[in-house]
Structure 1
Amino acid sequence: MGAIRTRDAVAAARSTADGRRNLILVVAVAVIAAVVIGGVVFTHAMADRPQAGGTYATTVQSDGTVVAGSATAKATLDVYEDFLCPYCKHNLEDPYGKAITKAIADGSLRVNYHVLDLLDNETTPAGYSLRAGNAALAAAKAGRFAEFHSALYDQQPTEGQAGYTNDELVDIGRKAGITGQQFADEVKAGAFDSEIRNQTDKARDSVNFKGTPTVLSGNTQVDISKAGWLTQLTGAA
């Protein structure tokens, strides 16, 4: 009789232990599932949120001018660029791009960027200058103009080639820190095409415009071939 009671007690204990293990396993699975689902929801929420916090603040004006930097900066420049232009890369962005970015970020320089599609027919097929310019304005709206601007010049296509597709421009933007869906939508829709074309037409009609790149301080053209021009304007070391 005692043996039977002992067997029953052991069986009951095992049953209880198994039940506890099963309960712990169920709870653990539920916690992991909640974390995964929460992470997915959070990721989608972040993807739909406009991104800010880039190297410096930008505003896209109604005419398509990208205004970068503080209104109280010591110097203000107007910069006319085309993302396909090799002179923009080799004469301005490569030697001075980082210094310009730093000066904007530290508040000593304000730049009005006029993004043009002047070389739109110089790719095969045509259209890269316009696509890149549109994407740059979308990046400025998303708060990552500095990062995107730098990436496009670092990876500049050669004239005569096709240039980047809209999907590739979106990918470049993602790598530059733009995660909002609005950026991708604006790139693919050509949301700023008309502003880019109008900027180009306006530049052609200006007596101060001398091709890309043109850098103006007021109505005076800045000689970017002269060493120290940026330091002289901003007073930065």
Structure 2
Amino acid sequence: MGANRTRGAVAAARGAGDGRRNLILVVAVAVIAAAVIGGVVVTHARADVPQAGGTYATTVQQDGTVVAGSANAKATLDVYEDFLCPYCKHNLEDPYGKDMTKAIAAGSLRVDYHVLDLLDNETTPAGYSLRAGNAALAAAKAGRFAEFHAALYEQQPTEGQAGYTDDQLVDIGRKAGITSQQFADEVKAGAFDAEIRGQTDKARDSVNFKGTPTVLSGDNQVDISKAGWLSQLTKA
């Protein structure tokens, strides 16, 4: 609509007499300027709004649990992960991550993700597990947890080396579809650091937690080395 208004103002100026043309040209310039400024304002406003339209819906509970999927799903799992954990990548995410994502999106699976910083001292410098976990919760709040979660495991740093910086995590988020300034601010501020540490402390105190990854169905440990475990749960 702004573009049509601009074109109309310019066309009117071209068809008028000299005196009237000058006046209309002034008006046309004002309309164009307003349209440009308005576009900038709208773009900035949209950038500050968390992005919707991700693969599946997520909510971040007060304790930092990321709830992915519908409460009416056939199966509910509790998944405990650390983004630096190689076993999380090789034993869970690489073989089953895409199928879990599809099941969550289809409404047959709900996953309560507990993001931990157990390996926070295993990078040089230390701190990557916490930074990545905080960024993942910020991504969940922005509606792009599935995309960001997958990206971090696909590009997982190696233990002992440097993990991603805050700026790099923000860039990974942008490539995953997160354009809000709020996401960048939360990543750089460590907005969910306390929640990640709380999740880690709670996991350590739980008799059901067996390290990362731990996958629970209720209080029962899921044997993710057993072929077909996911389909058995979602089709039950």
Distance 1:38 1:191 in 2: 31
Aligned counterpart, 2:63:
63
Counterpart mapping for 1:69-218 below 5 A: 69-218=69-218
Question: What letter matches 1:209 in structure 2?
Answer: F
> Which amino acid counterpart does residue 91 of structure 1 have in structure 2?
N
Moved more, 124-133 or 165-174: 165-174
AA paired with 1:204?
R
Q: In the TM superposition, what is the alpha-carbon distance from 1:50 to its structure 2 partner?
A: 2.0
Report the AA paired with residue 220 of structure 1: N
Which structure has the greater CA radius of gyration? Answer: 1
Q: Which residue in the other structure is 2:229 paired with?
A: 229
Instruction: List 4+ stretches of structure 1 deviating above 3 A.
Output: 16-35
What's the secondary structure of 2:121's corresponding residue? helix
Q: What is the identity, as a one-letter code, of the residue corresponding to 2:119?
A: L
**1:35: how far off?**
3.6
| Paired amino acid for 1:39 | G
1:37 deviation in Å? Answer: 2.2
TM-score normalised to structure 2 length: 0.86
More displaced 10-residue stretch of structure 1: 29-38 or 149-158: 29-38
Q: Which residue pairs with 1:7 in the alignment? A: none
Question: Residue type matched to 2:82 in 1?
Answer: D
For 1:160, what is the secondary structure of its paired residue?
Answer: coil
Report which stretch shifted further, 110-119 or 147-156. Answer: 147-156
Work out the CA distance in 2 between the residues paired with 1:143 and 1:194. 21
Aligned length in residues: 221
TM-score by length of 1: 0.86
